[in-house]
Amino acid sequence: MITVTKPFFPPIEDYQQYIAKIWENQWLTNRGELVVELESKLKSYLGVNNVIAMTNGTLPLHIALSALTEGGEVITTPFSYVATTSSIVLENCTPVFVDINPEYLTIDESKIEAAITPKTTAILATHVYGNPCDVEAIAKIAEKYKLKVIYDAAHCFGVTYKGTSIFNYGDVSTCSFHATKLFHTGEGGALFCKDEALDKQMFFRHNFGHDGPLQFQGIGTNAKMSELQAAMGLSVLPYVKDIIEARKEICKAYDALLKVNTIKKLKIRAHTDWNYSYYPIIFSSEEQLLEVQKVLENNGIVPRRYFYPSLTTLSYVKNTNDVSVSDDISPRVLCLPLYYGLESVDVNKITELILSVVQ
């Protein structure tokens, strides 16, 4: 079976070396040696000043929202994974949806100002499929209205914009290190922010608010990464360049083979060094997508409808804004198999099956 993605497994000997350190140290969690080492190496690899490794990619969103919003309305996108919206609701904020750009699929920055009210406290935008939002336009809006900016950068490991890590934009950026991501710790994530004082506050919040064993700097939760997770991350990190390069070649093959007018592809924002995290295609209709999906699945190929449905359809949100672009694209977008180790013969088979339907 060809799945939409597969976790990268480093050589088992690499992982065992780190596991041996854990046994030697007799330390499993509470910020052990390997977590500290992973954070240090990530700073160097990504070109960021601060990184807080966490146990998954959703908790950083919760921590950022709890620290920066204090309730109120949060402007966000309807075209993202459910964690973006559910985090807003769970932190007692109200999501206010702004439609997406039909080319980049990120939040339409030209429509943000119209959605701002006296209750607006922050903007939580998603860099979709690793494709950056218009970070400069959003920064200007945020400065004008004194809003905080949080980026859901779950897909963005290794992405740079204008020569700097995409994690350096906004007040806070978050990333997922889930097993399906190109860099992973099995399950995990991280929070990034440039401001040193804010970084310290975020650090306290990810560890129950602890400032030392017996003192607390306010409220917090348990988001700490374990040594076992860090061991996987340290084992995977040396292979990330190879992983990205392999994914790039697969994307180039898809590009060359899927040159048909009935399929639209993601437009990557200028000045972006993309990481080839996903390969979405947009069909002319949902009916065509469903037909392609059926043909692929009948041949042992499992793509994914990602992101579907548009988040305004969630039972626990209300939406009064026009999000017609997201509503239109969400039912028509399909992510094709893309992972390290996917063979060219499989890419050819996938594209041939797609073309058998759409041509």
**Strand spans (E) along the chain:** 2-3, 52-54, 73-76, 94-97, 120-126, 148-152, 160-161, 164-165, 172-176, 189-192, 263-265, 272-273, 280-283, 301-302, 333-335
Instruction: Note the residue count of the chain.
Output: 359
Range 239-358: architecture per CATH: Alpha-Beta Complex (3.90)
Task: Assess whether pLDDT exceeds 90 at residue 37.
Answer: yes
81 touches 127 (CB < 8 A):
no
Q: How many helices (H) and strands (E) does the chain have?
A: 12, 15
Burial degree of 319 (CB within 10 A; 0-12, 13-18, 19+) = middle
Stretch 116-142: mean pLDDT: 98
**pLDDT recorded at residue 218:** 82
Q: What is the DSSP string of 223-266?
A: -BPPHHHHHHHHHHGGGHHHHHHHHHHHHHHHHHH---TTEEEP
For residue 160, name the pLDDT band (cuts at 50, 70, 90). very high
The string of pLDDT tens digits covering residues 206-242 is 998 787 776 767 889 999 999 999 999 999 999 999 9
Please state whether the predicted TM-score (pTM) of the whole model is above 0.85: yes
The sheet with strand 280-283 has its strands ordered as: 263-265, 280-283, 333-335
Fold of 8-238: Aspartate Aminotransferase; domain 2 (3.40.640)
**pLDDT recorded at residue 113:** 98
Evaluate whether 8-238 and 239-358 have a shared fold: no
User: How many Å apart are CA 220 and CA 348, to the nearest integer?
Assistant: 50
User: Quick check: helix, strand or coil at residue 61?
Assistant: helix
The string of pLDDT tens digits covering residues 181-208 is 999 999 999 999 999 999 999 999 999 8
**pLDDT recorded at residue 70:** 84
**Which residues are CB-neighbours of 222 under 8 A, at least 6 positions away?**
55, 206, 207, 208
Pairing outcome for strands 189-192 and 172-176: antiparallel
The string of pLDDT tens digits covering residues 303-339 is 999 999 999 999 999 999 999 999 999 999 999 999 9
The string of pLDDT tens digits covering residues 335-358 is 999 999 999 999 999 999 999 999
Across all residues in the chain, what is the average pLDDT? 97
Cα→Cα distances 236→7, 223, 244, 286, 293, Å: 10, 21, 12, 37, 31
Of 250, 60, 28, 300, nearest in space to 156 by CA:
60
- Domain range summary for the chain, segments of one domain joined by +: 8-238, 239-358
Stretch 49-65: mean pLDDT: 98
**pLDDT recorded at residue 134:** 98
Pairing outcome for strands 172-176 and 148-152: parallel
Task: Assess whether pLDDT exceeds 80 at residue 7.
Answer: yes
User: How many Å apart are CA 233 and CA 188, to the nearest integer?
Assistant: 9
Stretch 46-56: mean pLDDT: 98
**pLDDT recorded at residue 217:** 78
Cα→Cα distances 137→111, 130, 287, 298, Å: 11, 18, 36, 45
Task: Assess whether pLDDT exceeds 80 at residue 95.
Answer: yes
Pairing outcome for strands 272-273 and 263-265: unpaired
Half-sphere exposure of 283 (CA within 13 A, CB side): 21
The string of pLDDT tens digits covering residues 254-276 is 999 999 999 999 999 999 999 99
| Region for 108 from its dihedrals, namely left if φ exceeds 0, alpha if ψ lies in -120 to 50, beta otherwise | beta
**Strand spans (E) along 86-218:** 94-97, 120-126, 148-152, 160-161, 164-165, 172-176, 189-192
Q: What DSSP state is assigned to residue 281? A: E
Q: What DSSP state is assigned to residue 46? A: H
**pLDDT recorded at residue 213:** 74
